[in-house]
Amino acid sequence: MIQALLSGILLGGIYGLFAVGFSLVFGVMRIVNFAHGELVMLAMYSGLTVYDLTGIDPLLSLPLTCLLIAGLGVLLYLGAFRHFVGRASMQQLLVAIAIAMILQVGAQIVFGPDTHGMAQSWGSQYLLFGTNFFSYAQVAAFFIALLCVTAVELILRKTRWGQDIRAVADDAEAAELVGLDTHRINTGAFALSCAIAAVAGSVLITYYPVNPGTGFALMPITLIATVVGGLGSVAGAFLGGIACGVISQVAGALAGPALQEVPLYVLLLLFLAFRPQGLFGRRVAF
Amino acid sequence: MSSGNDEAVPAPHATRPSRPQTVDLTRLIVGGVLVAATASLPFWPGVNSYFVALAVRALIFIALGQAWNVIAGIGGQLSLGNGVFFGIGAYGTAMLFTRVGITPWIGALLSVGLAGLAAIVMGAATLRFRGVYFALATVVISLGFERLTRHFVDFTGGDAGFSEPFLGTSPWAMQSRGPTPFLILSLGVVVGFYLLTRVLLVSSFGLQLQPVRDEEAAAASGVNVFHIKIMGLLLSAVMTALVGAIYVQFYLVIDPTAAFGLMQEIQIQLPALIGGLGTAGGPVIGGAFMVLVSEATNWLASGMSVHGLDVLAFGVLLLVVVLRAPHGVLGAFMRPPGAGSRR
């Protein structure tokens, strides 16, 4: 049980990282990016490909992956999501789903449908705590996730750019009135969200194999972590991710692996019904 | 949920009541020819049972799109949970037949009833959520069903799915060696759903369901929004479950991914979206078009040994339709801007 609890926290750190990237885009421009998981999946492939070709560890090729995924994100934003800023409409959701389908099949055509992982990794060694054990990669992933979320929170709080992003998130019209270029700020925030996805993917590939469906399969948990933590709240989304990790691992240990996510689905419905703003979010209308 | 303006389906004619339509001779002739051509398909020269089976697949696909169109196209609620009803129809019919020995004709009715019940419960729980929240709630309910069917292996067959024994051609078992009876059956369902949608678009229930897309306007005009939405979901569910029953009798197997999977939820939407959301003809044209595209890309792909080209084509189609032709193929060609009546 303690094993399940601790590995839930470690896994939850990664879920939290997904949710933070996803929540940022939602909070700033009210866009539900259903293709966020695909960005993580592509980052995993990016790290793996560099490793296979040159032997460079995915964590060292992280800057390259960030650049690639953020670039892709800017293209997606300018090509599609730009039209839907400010209203999470049915069409917006459908466009995101279409993009997810295209990226997923694109990955399948380029990399093949099979699951690939890193053949040999420093992360596959185990760390023992009494009777509990964790791989180095899991522990490292958690702390990198924590570091990344802290960095994002600092960027949003302390830098000029971050303050601009928060201003747009608060009230896009008012931000525009005081002379902020919301279009440029949105593009930047979207790229930041993609970079966070790239960090998540690069960390995950060190211990978790990837196939074209990996990202899509992670979307439900990302959505739930975001709603539970509070739409648009960075720290909330991270804590929501940890909560989801713990709940799913404990449920998996108690009721079997197929059911590990079911309590999360129930949790989402309860939150939607009774506390749609989540634990730490503000009430948002859309 | 706090108030807010949720941008639903673009519906230039949403608030304009459709006029009762006079019998349109052109439409009657085109429809009649299409139905006759499809029904006589097995007797055409050069048509083998592969093509007939393909036509059945297309018709099943179209019918699912027609059912989804009722809640999403007419009611404006983005349901990502219609797979729940499809799965109940399919699993229910197959299990009642295999386990209890109830003929699928009765089993289908019982399963449809069960799906209706599920729709009322699900609608009561989720239809108060607006816009994207409703979509999220329905998608996790569907995924929950998927996990439960995977877990209870003894009851549902688990990952491998639940299959029916094949008894040869038998009306009692609602099974057939050749696909022709299913062609007639599914064609009947598609025609029935088409007529139902046409009636719905001009009936008072349909006229109440349409402005539900714009909740404030509907509430202001005295429509009980929540009640109407539940009725819309119920109708959509009953239609979907009926198709599920036919599906399982035709393919004799149903598995969790085919019933409740996320990709299935998305594919159910495509016929209506591509053909024309909220119209009677849209899902028919969109569904037929998609099966053609899927066959063409599979044929292409078999030459190049890549898989998933059809999904790629659907993704691109969906993207283009939503961004460039929000009224679908039908809308783009048949409804000039500012023209009068709803197709």
A226 within some domain: yes
* Structural element, H or E, at residue A59: none
CB contact under 8 A, A259 and B316: no
A270 within some domain: yes
Mean pLDDT of chain B: 82
Phi and psi, residue A252, nearest 5°: -65, -40
The pLDDT score that the predictor gives to residue A132 is: 67
Pairing of strands B162-163, A132-135: unpaired
Query: Pick from A32, A105, A216: which is nearest to B308 by CB?
Result: A105
Contact residues on chain B for A272, CB-CB shorter than 8 A:
126, 129, 133, 136-137
Query: Pick from A113, A262, A268: which is nearest to B148 by CB?
Result: A262
Q: Choosing among B78, B140, B273, B294, which should be mutated to test the A contact, i.e. which has the most A CBs within 10 A?
A: B140
A129 pLDDT tier (thresholds 50, 70, 90): low
How do residues B12-36 score in pLDDT, each as one tens digit? 444 444 444 556 788 888 888 888 8
pLDDT more than 70, % of chain A: 92
A161 within some domain: yes
A126 within some domain: no
Mean pLDDT of B304-332: 77
Structural domain count of chain A? 1
CB contact under 8 A, A265 and B4: no
Contact residues on chain B for A22, CB-CB shorter than 8 A:
none
CATH of the domain at A82: 1.10.3470
Tokens encoding B78: 């983005």
The pLDDT score that the predictor gives to residue B333 is: 61
The answer, yes or no, to whether residue A105 has pLDDT greater than 50, is: yes
CB contact under 8 A, A276 and B8: no
A117 within some domain: no
Q: Report whether A139 contacts A10 (CB < 8 A).
A: yes
Q: Which value does ipTM take for this structure? A: 0.81
The pLDDT score that the predictor gives to residue A70 is: 94
Query: Pick from B76, B78, B308: which is nearest to A93 by CB?
Result: B78
A58 within some domain: yes
Phi and psi, residue B163, nearest 5°: -120, 150
Query: Which residue of chain A is at minimal alpha-carbon distance from B310?
Result: A105
The answer, yes or no, to whether residue A45 has pLDDT greater than 60, is: yes
The pLDDT score that the predictor gives to residue B23 is: 61
The pLDDT score that the predictor gives to residue B214 is: 67
The pLDDT score that the predictor gives to residue A241 is: 92
The pLDDT score that the predictor gives to residue B11 is: 43
Tokens encoding A67: 């650049």
The pLDDT score that the predictor gives to residue A124 is: 62
Using the structure block, give the residue that is written with the tokens 């006589």.
B40
Residue B116, min C-alpha distance to chain A (Å): 20
Mean pLDDT of chain A: 86
Residue B297, min C-alpha distance to chain A (Å): 13
The pLDDT score that the predictor gives to residue B320 is: 85
The answer, yes or no, to whether residue B321 has pLDDT greater than 90, is: no
How do residues A223-256 score in pLDDT, each as one tens digit? 899 888 877 788 889 999 999 999 998 988 888 8
CB contact under 8 A, B131 and A284: no
Residue B194, min C-alpha distance to chain A (Å): 24
A109 pLDDT tier (thresholds 50, 70, 90): confident
Structural domain boundaries, residue A12: 2-111+133-274
A57 pLDDT tier (thresholds 50, 70, 90): confident
A197 pLDDT tier (thresholds 50, 70, 90): very high
A238 within some domain: yes
Mean pLDDT of A114-131: 71
The answer, yes or no, to whether residue B210 has pLDDT greater than 50, is: yes
Residue A70, min C-alpha distance to chain B (Å): 21
The pLDDT score that the predictor gives to residue B332 is: 63
The pLDDT score that the predictor gives to residue B108 is: 93
Q: Which residue has the higher pLDDT, B247 or B160?
A: B247
A131 pLDDT tier (thresholds 50, 70, 90): low
Q: Report whether A41 contacts A201 (CB < 8 A).
A: yes
Phi and psi based region of residue B178 (left: phi greater than 0; alpha: psi -120 to 50; beta: remaining): beta
